Amino acid sequence: MPLRVVTHAHADHLMGLKRSLKDCEEVLMTKATRDMIKVMKGPSLLTSGRIKTLEYGKTLRHGNDKITLHKADHILGAAQVLVENSQGEKVAYTGDFRIDGTEPLECDTLVVETTYGHPSYKRNFNVDIREVLVSMIEKRLRYGTVFVFGFHGKLQEVMQILANADVTVPFVMPENVYNVSKVCAHHGMKLGCITLSTKNEAKELLDKNLPCVAFYHVNSRRTVGLDNDRICVSGWEFRSPSRQTGFKEHVVALSDHSDFNGLIEYVKRCKPKKVITDNYRGDGEILAKEITKRLCIPALPAPGNGKRWLQQVLVNAQDLKGPKLNHQ
């Protein structure tokens, strides 16, 4: 396999990376994604194999193909991939993205993610989710520490939202969240006053239930901050901007993926001749049918469940030209 592109540092897009570093001529990603992988998976993972970093908008030549990474509004370092072959045919892969901050890529063939590819996954909220989140946290800070749970990348987005809203209380977090936050800050994100939960001043804030925001990975939700106000940020909320799930616990519908309407709109803006839907999450077939019906653009789901095929976004642009796709 000559080349693999890693679109971002979430675990479901890193599967098989160790083998790719062994088998591929190059593994391509942004610098921010490389740095995120180092702190999330350990620096030793990237010591073998040839890592190639590429800035947004810069083009890499690989054989007869030209590869360009474009910003995707998802987590720090997330990228879309645009490939142009020697015949001038363009293939784009969205990776995971949110439509508001993602530039559409005009192409002949579009490969699109399908996290919320079912027509029922629509967030028709007439409110700014960020404002809802800030308001909820500010109100609860009057009573002490507020715990926020989410995935890496989204937690740092919440920190940035709060910092931009001039929420100036300390942000406390364990080492795994802190290390990711330091990478995000290094790459330009404004995250406020972040501190390790093991520091004496942070321990005092938590022990005395003083006003601060404590950020923990969602996997800690069942064991951390059980007596405090708790907010979980999740994209799997479609009925309302926020929902109470316990006595002092709420879920807020902050997503880093486009909903169904966003996916359809993005495909429309890209003006592709054909579409391949990533079938890994299970709604690829449904989204493909909806794209064909609503936009009159031929669309097919990726072969099988799309898992192995999308592990390596590109081997050769020729392989992605039409519906006859090879597993890569």
In tens, the pLDDT along 248-288 reads 999 999 999 999 999 999 999 999 999 999 988 779 999 99
Please state the rounded mean pLDDT for residues 25-37.
Answer: 96
The number of domains in the chain is: 2
Same domain, 40 and 53: yes
- Tell me: the pLDDT tens digits for 142-173? 999 999 999 999 999 999 999 999 999 999 99
Q: Is the pLDDT of residue 138 over 90?
A: yes
Look at residue 326 and tell me if it is in a domain. no
The band of 325, judged by pLDDT with boundaries at 50, 70 and 90, is: very low
Q: Identify the domain boundary among 227, 252, 277.
A: 252
Same domain, 244 and 263: no
Same domain, 61 and 153: no
Look at residue 327 and tell me if it is in a domain. no
Same domain, 169 and 261: no
d(CA 25, CA 22): 8
Look at residue 192 and tell me if it is in a domain. yes
Same domain, 84 and 140: no
Look at residue 189 and tell me if it is in a domain. yes
* pTM of the complete model beyond 0.75: yes
Per-residue confidence (pLDDT) for residue 198, from 0 to 100: 97
Rounded to the nearest 10°, the torsion over CA 253, 256, 259, 263 is: 170
Same domain, 138 and 240: yes
Per-residue confidence (pLDDT) for residue 312, from 0 to 100: 43
Look at residue 77 and tell me if it is in a domain. yes
Residue 111 is part of which domain span?
3-120+257-320
More confident: 305 or 80: 80
DSSP letter string, 36-91? HHHHHH-GGGGSSS-EEE--TT-EEEETTEEEEEEE-SSSTT-EEEEEE-TT--EE
Query: 94 Cβ partners below 8 Å, 6+ apart?
Result: 72, 80, 102, 110, 111, 112, 113, 266
| Residue % of the chain over a pLDDT of 90 | 82
Query: 156 Cβ partners below 8 Å, 6+ apart?
Result: 75, 76, 180, 181, 184, 189, 191
Look at residue 174 and tell me if it is in a domain. yes
Q: Identify the domain boundary among 252, 280, 302.
A: 252
CATH of the domain at 214: 3.40.1010
Tokens for 241, please give them. 């901007």
Same domain, 147 and 66: no
Tokens for 292, please give them. 């064909």
CATH of the domain at 269: 3.60.15.10
Q: Is the pLDDT of residue 309 over 70?
A: no
Is residue 221 a contact partner of residue 147, using CB atoms and an 8 Å limit?
no
Same domain, 234 and 261: no
The band of 106, judged by pLDDT with boundaries at 50, 70 and 90, is: very high
Same domain, 52 and 109: yes
Please state the rounded mean pLDDT for residues 198-225.
Answer: 97
Angle between helices 154-164 and 129-141 (to 10 degrees): 80
Same domain, 262 and 240: no
Same domain, 112 and 261: yes
Look at residue 328 and tell me if it is in a domain. no
The band of 1, judged by pLDDT with boundaries at 50, 70 and 90, is: low
Same domain, 156 and 171: yes
Per-residue confidence (pLDDT) for residue 185, from 0 to 100: 97
